[in-house]
Amino acid sequence: MTPRPSLAILIVLAVALAVVGAGPAPAAEKTLAIGLLGPLSGGAASYGVELQRGAEMRADEINKAGGLKIGGDVYKIKLVAYDHKAQAADAATATNKLVFQDKVKYIIGNAVGATCNAAQTITEPNKVMFSFVCWGTANLAPEKPYSFRSMLSQWELAEPFYRWVKENHPRVKRVAVISPNDTSGKDTNTAVVKALKALAFEVTADEYYERGTKDFYPVLTKLLAQKPDMIDVAAAPAGEAGLILKQAMELGFKGAKGWTAGTNPFTIIGVAGREAAEGVWSPANINVKSEHVNSAVRKFGEAYEKRYGEVPGVIAVANFAAFDVFTQAMQRAGSVETDRVLEVLTKERFETVWGPLVIGGKETYGIDRQFLYPLVISEVREGKIVDLTQVLPAALKKK
Amino acid sequence: MALGLTLIFSILDIINFAHGEFYMLGGYVTYYAFAVFGVNYFLTLGLAVLVVGGAGVLAERVVFRHLRGKTLNAFIVSLGLLWVLQASAQLSFGVLDKSVPSAVSGIVRVFGLVISRERLVVIVTACALITALYLFLKFARTGQAMRAVAQDPDAAALQGINIEAVSALGFGVGCALAGAAGALLAPVFAVSPTMGALPVVKAFIIIIVGGMGSLPGAVLGGLLLGAVEGIGTLFMTSAAVNMLGFLVVIAILLVRPRGLLGVA
């Protein structure tokens, strides 16, 4: 015989349900896993570390504020980061793990162009939103609508940088360019060489080295034999760029030094030493202590330095901004579905640490997926970073 | 570094893939002793040799002693040790490159050839270490015992040589040489957990070209690879030069399978 619940129990249950149903339904707390890729070890580790820290800072802010309210749900952010050591094969493996094992729909953060290409073979067909600071030209394209670059690339930086060199340092006429032998390096040298030729500089060397190289004497011997007025360690990461400049100085080079991809000149001082790093110009960096940046960037820089004991470079700021923009777009879309978020992201205006977000790049890449902001040309002087001038990229001027 | 690798192979018959990590350890000893605590550079060099040599003896006693005669097992274990040491370094020291200031600065010009004093110190010290190792193995009683073990461990044991002690010492000396290389090159390059990855590959090329287990072969192989890479860079791309090193290995092994100075 089936036991029957007593009338009293049924009444209590009914009252309880009525009480619960009378008020607004509480938001269900869920977890939103957001992926991050990067070279977290090896010669390009400084990029990955900044990416991770920038994302961590925004994720922690969101979680401490109670989570991300999207529609009727509240999401706690869980950051899932994998190291690909700047290797494309490792990046493909890591992206597969993020997409199919961790089930992420957003990967906010990656660096090194070849690894972005590898990751995009998985993110694009699976409609995973992907934001990165990679410098591969092909990383943004009409057939890659879910991909965004959150930092200015060589195509936005090289021309205004070398225009400034020409106008302010007319003695520089012969320039040697050296980068790692991969997609980032090749694309960066291509953009730099194109800008140099357009501005009537003489390119004495368009040189490449294998990532992980420590001894640059052989390649520098060849490069310096052409007697350049300036060496641009274009897409070299800090660890390798520092060694190139240090060893060039040992071999007697006394000319001008540029670092088109100089995302954090503080790091190059650490590796090259103050003497070899002295005078390095960089158009890619953002000095978070400078008068050229707004109060939001300065505030971010102070919080970052307090937390990690280091001054952040542009990559940390860019990934913090990207994390902020993507999560804002999810809230406005009222959904974590990437198609709905993509629609909001490309149609609405967003406030970021950079100020109002501008997304452009259609003239260069065939699609507007490039975050745009003013660039600041800086110089290393006596172990410090001195901002020289602020310049608008051509694409931003048109906006 | 290649000398240490070939010494370990000749005495223990172990292909130590973790040799680059002992080189890395020498780099970190230098970073902390010299750059952080301000110990004299040449004292630091001695300290690196002792610390890394000690770590080598420990690795032999704890791990490799139990794998004597099992070359394949030891090879796999050395790969595991590589990852353990590299990951431990990443967790302990961080992933970013650490710069070690130059102990001696400035450059020297000889007939138009420019070389930094820092590299000159490396060359002179490396030559001194090679000579010291040669004299030790040739004339010192312990060195002769090492050679005896390398030639025939059973016969050496019958002569009263303590095989276990000599093996531990041989592994320690091999690792100490890697530590010395790490300490010498720390100010020239930067220090990082993965700094041993590329040098160990080159060290393997060198000892294969020179002949596995041959100390003069390691010296000759090093000079040959250095010349090939240095001159090759003037005419080829960096990728082609890297390939050239392996082509030299293939060519030499086809003509002389035991390497230039290796014995059958």
Q: Using only C-alpha atoms, what is the Rg of chain A?
A: 24
Is the same domain home to B129 and B97?
yes
pLDDT attached to residue A274: 83
Q: What are phi and psi of A209, to 5 degrees?
A: -135, 160
Is the same domain home to B94 and B173?
yes
Q: Among residues B149, B167, B192, which one ends one of the domains? A: B192
- Give which of A84, A211, A217, A315 to mutate to test B binding, by max B Cβ within 10 Å: A217
Is the same domain home to B178 and B220?
no
* HEC secondary structure over A27-38: CEEEEEEEEEEE
Superfamily of domain A154-283: Response regulator (3.40.50.2300)
Given CB atoms, is B194 within the 8 Å cutoff of chain A? yes
Q: Enumerate the residues of chain B whose CB falls inside 8 A of the CB of residue A217.
A: 230
Tell me how close the Cα of B238 comes to any Cα of chain A, in angstroms: 5
Give chain B's residues under pLDDT 50.
none
Contact status, residue A166 vs residue A224, Cβ threshold 8 Å? no
How far is Cα B151 from Cα B135, in angstroms, rounded to an integer?
18
Whether residues B97 and A43 touch (CB distance < 8 A) is answered with: yes
- H or E stretch covering A19: helix A7-22
* HEC secondary structure over A214-253: CCCHHHHHHHHCCCCCEEECCCCCHHHHHHHHHHHHHCCC
The closest of A277, A297, A272, A278 to A287, measured between CA atoms, is A297
Is the same domain home to B171 and B74?
yes
Q: Enumerate the residues of chain B whose CB falls inside 8 A of the CB of residue A181.
A: 237-239
Q: Enumerate the residues of chain B whose CB falls inside 8 A of the CB of residue A239.
A: 96-97, 190, 192
Between A218, A221, A239, which is nearest B190 by CB?
Answer: A239
- Give which of B98, B189, B191, B225 to mutate to test A binding, by max A Cβ within 10 Å: B189
Residue in the structure block whose two tokens are 């312990």: B142
Given CB atoms, is A213 within the 8 Å cutoff of chain B? yes
The residues, ordered by sequence, that sit 6+ positions from A103 with a Cβ below 8 Å of its Cβ are A33
The closest of A357, A344, A358, A349 to A399, measured between CA atoms, is A358
Contact status, residue B108 vs residue B117, Cβ threshold 8 Å? yes
Tell me how close the Cα of B8 comes to any Cα of chain A, in angstroms: 26
Strand blocks (E) in chain B = 98-99, 107-110, 113-116, 190-191
Is the same domain home to B68 and B168?
yes
How far is Cα A47 from Cα A94, in angstroms, rounded to an integer?
17
- H or E stretch covering A7: helix A7-22
Whether residues A221 and B192 touch (CB distance < 8 A) is answered with: no
Residue in the structure block whose two tokens are 């520098």: A220
Give the CA distances from residue A51 to residues A313, A320, B241, in Å, rounded to whole numbers and listed in that order: 10, 8, 33
Given CB atoms, is A183 within the 8 Å cutoff of chain B? no
How far is Cα A287 from Cα A263, in angstroms, rounded to an integer?
10
Given CB atoms, is A290 within the 8 Å cutoff of chain B? no
Query: Does the ipTM exceed 0.90?
Result: no
pLDDT attached to residue A19: 43
For chain A, give every domain's residue range.
28-151+292-373, 154-283
Secondary structure (DSSP) of A131-189: EE----GGGS-TT-TTEEE-S--HHHHHHHHHHHHHHH-TT--EEEEEEESSHHHHHHH
Whether residues B233 and A242 touch (CB distance < 8 A) is answered with: no
A69: tokens are 């309210």
Looking at the domain A28-151+292-373, which fold is it? Rossmann fold (3.40.50)
How far is Cα B226 from Cα A373, in angstroms, rounded to an integer?
46
Is the same domain home to B188 and B83?
yes
Is the same domain home to B46 and B154?
yes
Per-10-residue mean pLDDT of chain A, 399 residues long, equals 48 47 57 95 84 96 94 93 92 96 96 91 97 90 96 91 95 96 89 96 95 88 94 91 92 93 78 87 85 85 93 92 95 95 89 83 92 88 87 75
Q: Among residues B192, B212, B241, which one ends one of the domains? A: B192
Judge if A28-151+292-373 and A154-283 fold alike in CATH terms. Answer: yes
Contact status, residue A49 vs residue A95, Cβ threshold 8 Å? no
Is the same domain home to B180 and B212?
no
Local structure of B65: helix, strand or coil: helix
pLDDT attached to residue B79: 92
A274: tokens are 């103050």
Is the same domain home to B187 and B202?
no
The tally of domains found in chain B comes to 2
CA-based end-to-end distance of chain A? 78
pLDDT attached to residue A3: 46
Contact status, residue A378 vs residue A389, Cβ threshold 8 Å? no
Is the same domain home to B88 and B32?
yes
Whether residues B96 and A46 touch (CB distance < 8 A) is answered with: yes
Whether residues A181 and B198 touch (CB distance < 8 A) is answered with: no
Is the same domain home to B129 and B252?
no
Is the same domain home to B158 and B214?
no
How far is Cα A294 from Cα A283, in angstroms, rounded to an integer?
17
The domain containing residue B201 runs over which residues? 196-264
Burial A279-309 (b: 16+ CB within 10 A, else e): ebbbbbbbbbbbebbeebbbebbeebeeeee
Q: Enumerate the residues of chain B whose CB falls inside 8 A of the CB of residue A208.
A: 237-239
Chain B residue with minimal CA distance to A270?
B99
Between A41, A213, A219, which is nearest B194 by CB?
Answer: A41
CA-based end-to-end distance of chain B? 23
Between B114, B190, B242, which is nearest A210 by CB?
Answer: B242
Q: Among residues B192, B221, B256, which one ends one of the domains? A: B192
A197: tokens are 């030729």
